[in-house]
Amino acid sequence: MKTLAVPLMPSGRPYMIQDKVRIGARGSALSLKQAMIAAASMREIGFETEIVPVNSKGDIDRSSPLYKMDSQGVFVDSINRLLVSGEIDIAVHSAKDIPSAIQEGLVVSAVLKRSSPEDCIVSRPGTGIMGLPRGAVVGTSSLRRKYDALEVRPDLKVRDIRGNVDTRIRKMLENEFDAVILAEAGIQRLGLDIPHATLPVRQFIPSPNQGIIALMTSSGSPFSGVSRKIDHPETRVAYNYERIASETLLVGCSHPAGILCVPGDPSSTLMVRIRSDDGSRKVELVEEFSSMGEFEAILEGLSKSVGELR
């Protein structure tokens, strides 16, 4: 077992170092799997771990469409409260669920290697979106996915669906839907043997930070520095660029917006598609940049156009 120097909390009390690192996560199968991935990474650097399941507001209310809820922090606030109170040491989040404004005193101290950032469509025959029958009923909780799907296939009937990954797939298998659109990373992490097709990233630009697992800690916690040892450099670059773009363009979790950065050397690629809330108008681009200055110039050019959508 590793030992840590014990700094003081803002209250002046010392942090309590437990025998095991307490990792908090939502109680869904996918969130617990992501917590297990984070725990494995912590064990690789010498720490024993304990996973603490937590119910979030988004898990308790499974009927309201996400874009109609006050979705800033709907999946993270309950876990973060335990972090602030010292009841857990590390919170594990899907990075795309973290609001643009992170609570004071908390920090994303590590991001793990990104899985697929793409969306995928799950259907009984495993066909792509173009292979669905005319008028097929497609389930999604995302306005972004809804509008992207209708742009490619205006004949589809896109309906709201809530629930965890396994619940949504079950509803499709029970014929409530012909297909559901999900993050491909969730299918991969759960190891589900279900027919599905990856959706083209140029048609379905994913949500910012989709496919990234984030580890959040209190900024003064001894685990803040420790968890940085498992930070994945290339994923961190993409994470930072996508968050900067989201904050600059004032994109919230409920907005129909896709932002993806693909890091490269010497140039990286930025893909953006942001729609008005009713889906009738959009701003989009795919552009390469080689420096922070070029990146900021792209965002500056986009800001006015995005502002006109609102």
Q: Which residue has the tokens 């097929």?
A: 136
pLDDT (tens digit per residue) in 196-213: 999 999 999 999 999 999
Residues of the chain with pLDDT under 70: 1-19, 56-74
pLDDT for res 235: 98
Catalytic residue at 243?
no
119-198 is classed in which CATH architecture?
A: 3-Layer(aba) Sandwich (3.40)
pLDDT for res 65: 53
Catalytic residue at 162?
yes
pLDDT for res 251: 87
Catalytic residue among 26, 114, 145, 236: 145
Residues of the chain with CATH 3.40.190.10: 21-113+212-231, 119-198
On whether the CB atoms of residues 10 and 220 are closer than 8 A, the answer is yes
Catalytic residue among 26, 114, 144, 189: 144
**SS3 label, residue 172:** helix
Residues of the chain with CATH 3.30.160.40: 243-307
Catalytic residue at 253?
yes
Catalytic residue at 144?
yes
How far is it, in rounded angstroms, from Cα 164 to Cα 301? 38
> Per CATH, is 21-113+212-231 categorized as 3.40.250.10?
no
pLDDT (tens digit per residue) in 24-79: 999 999 999 999 999 999 999 989 999 999 976 544 444 555 444 445 555 799 99
Catalytic residue among 22, 26, 59, 97: 97
> Per CATH, is 243-307 categorized as 3.30.160.40?
yes
Contacts of 293 (CB under 8 A, 6+ apart): none
Catalytic residue at 145?
yes
How far is it, in rounded angstroms, from Cα 24 to Cα 215? 10
Catalytic residue at 157?
no
Residue 43 sits at φ, ψ, to 5 deg, of: -65, -30
Catalytic residue at 96?
yes
pTM score: 0.88
